[in-house]
Structure 1
């Protein structure tokens, strides 16, 4: 929404809410379109992208590891209603991601598979407003309370989703509310894109210096010559009233912002996270999760034991080590060293990471690279803190705006 937004509090807002807002259900304001039942043998590496439940994260659709199907044998127009593009959003109807609402934030088009439902508002209803109605904790609680317990796998039907209650304001106010929340999300997305651009620039420079211009006479070193593996165990539940900052795999996937949780809420052991470390996920190194931890972090920071904590032996090598671990060659070595029964459950041991061999011209050259690119990491770290602030503001405002407790001038 352009211009300045006025938030109105108090008695006037409450009276207006009672007079103008209507109690409705989701299926009264939007169409719920379950995905197409493609056959398992149709999936491969070619054709149109298909979004499955595994590709849905809360807030966005992940296009990084999608499957594809060849659709040439389908009649023209048969699959049109199952297509999603920029701005569309879907709900996972089964599995570990059940209830998560993901939005397409890239300029891409895809089809949706069965057990994924597309939500599309009806005429006269703001599509963005309906999206934000489904983005809060109330919708997640509704999903959990309406899961079909008679099935072998947790699932929820389109009919059950359609019974989700929505308090509907006039269309102009729907758009104003969505405008406030969209402006916050747009700023968050912009910062994410800026960070991705900075990392891509640094990765390009790393590849030029240490891969494309590599020489046979360069000294071969192990990763263990450059970095140390840290393993300080923490039992948060022993300190139930302490607020911990947890670096978990879901937190990484949701924008690399640690979550805040009381010790009593964290039931498993964790590792201590200290400043100037790098977290490397053990799980599925073919698609690595590598998290750079800045020099200023909150007290009582911990990480999931699915992460391994590494620290460069010299601070001047921090940026070099970070982009070394992210490089294609090292990721390839980690993938080959991983063990497990399937691609999605393979894990890499810390000793295998430490034994990976790399060639560098000299420590001085690596330090020079670090001095150039350290600013990229620092900028990304600051941006993530802003993202965390904006996300907290959005999450605080969202239920208040959706309930009419806080009103927007329109």
Structure 2
């Protein structure tokens, strides 16, 4: 295998596209605008800002993007990186687009380099600013980059991108499975609802369980074996299974606080602040206050309840109130009216969609395994600790 060589970024870059210092006129539709806000976790997520088609040529005077160009955010946040997959986009402030010299660097490898701890360190150690932490273009140009021979760059990028592609496929499968379950819910309980079904309170179908937080000052309450779900964890796993949590509490902490353990498949919803984020538990967990555990009343029809919350969540959000934080309460659930299907109809429906949710959970478990493998390999491959045979 060939030796790794050290370069300065500007020596291996063919095109350095920088639109900082310019502010485009934004519209609600048109050419998607790649902003720093939508460059996340190695990809460009769905855009929510646009410029008019008629403004494209007058705006994009500093250079046009190409497929597999590397986009890197320079501030707020610094160091998020992705590849351009559709060149029909406009480039905004706070991002710089890099196109490597073909005989020096393989663009997908360069993306993974800046995703790795090695690349992050090179950026963070050169950043400046008090209010906004970022890196100047002139400084970015001088960032050192270590590269193996081009064939090995391509082999490394192939290994990592194959993992990312599989992760993306599983995420898409889960979105499809959830959409199918939601369609069946609407068919059974909205479009084909029986005229004799009564209207009643949402609380006639669910039980609400309040959460709690052990005192953080008492060390004996924390770092146990009971997963403890926070509002941030719910938001991070919105409309998905949550498998584990960063924080865990002890049995002692559970007994000496208002925290309660919810069973596997229970739904948890954020009830204060950013209300209406919800997820399903992949294992029993305790959870924080300002959230509700939602259990099926007198049954184990967890999938029906999860899809019911999905169906009514916008109405619950619109009913939130509060002087400082938006809040939904037991009263919000009590006052919200829904159709009350017969119990046997709910049981039959729950059985019909159980396969979708079982597959979604298996996919989520596989996603987590692949992400751990990728995150373990990334720093080793980017430092040369692990080499890829060519």
**Quick check: 1:21 aligned with 2:4?**
yes
Q: Name the counterpart of 1:231.
A: 210
| Higher mean C-alpha deviation, range 332-341 or range 377-386 | 332-341
Q: Could you tell me how far 1:231 is from its partner in structure 2?
A: 2.7
| 2:269 maps to which of 270, 280, 286 | 280
The 1:271/1:154 distance shift into structure 2, 3 A limit, reads farther
Q: Which has the larger radius of gyration?
A: 2
**Quick check: 1:252 aligned with 2:240?**
no
Report the secondary structure of 2:57's partner residue. Answer: coil
| 1:333 maps to which of 315, 324, 328 | 315
**Quick check: 1:146 aligned with 2:126?**
yes
Residues 203-249 of structure 1: CA deviation (Å, up to 9, x unaligned): 11112222223355421132222222323324485256547756515
* Aligned 8 A contact 2:242 2:279 in 1: no
* Aligned 8 A contact 1:340 1:347 in 2: yes
Q: Name the counterpart of 1:379.
A: 359
| 2:368 maps to which of 388, 393, 398 | 388
Q: Cα RMSD between the aligned structures? A: 3.5
Matches within 5 A, 1:123-134: 123-124=102-103, 125-134=105-114
* Aligned 8 A contact 1:233 1:272 in 2: no
Report the secondary structure of 1:33's partner residue. Answer: strand
The 1:126/1:385 distance shift into structure 2, 3 A limit, reads same
| 1:61 maps to which of 14, 23, 44 | 44
**Quick check: 1:293 aligned with 2:277?**
no
TM-score (norm. length: structure 2): 0.81
Q: Name the counterpart of 1:5.
A: none
Q: Distance in 2 between matches of 1:340 and 1:84?
A: 48
* Aligned 8 A contact 2:267 2:306 in 1: yes
The 1:39/1:404 distance shift into structure 2, 3 A limit, reads closer
TM-score (norm. length: structure 1): 0.77
* Aligned 8 A contact 2:317 2:328 in 1: no
- Structure number with the bigger relative contact order (C-alpha 8 A, sep ≥ 6) is 1
Matches within 5 A, 1:11-410: 16=1, 20-30=3-13, 31-35=15-19, 39=23, 42-63=25-46, 66-75=48-57, 78=60, 81=63, 83=65, 89-95=70-76, 97-103=77-83, 109-124=88-103, 125-150=105-130, 152-215=131-194, 217-235=196-214, 237=216, 238-239=219-220, 241-242=223-224, 248=233, 251-252=236-237, 261=246, 274-282=263-271, 284=274, 289-294=277-282, 296=283, 301=285, 308-327=292-311, 330-339=312-321, 347-351=326-330, 352-353=332-333, 355-410=335-390
Structure 2: runs of 5+ lacking an equivalent? 250-257
Report the secondary structure of 1:358's partner residue. Answer: strand
Task: Tell me how many residue pairs correspond in the alignment.
Answer: 372
Structure 1: runs of 5+ lacking an equivalent? 1-15
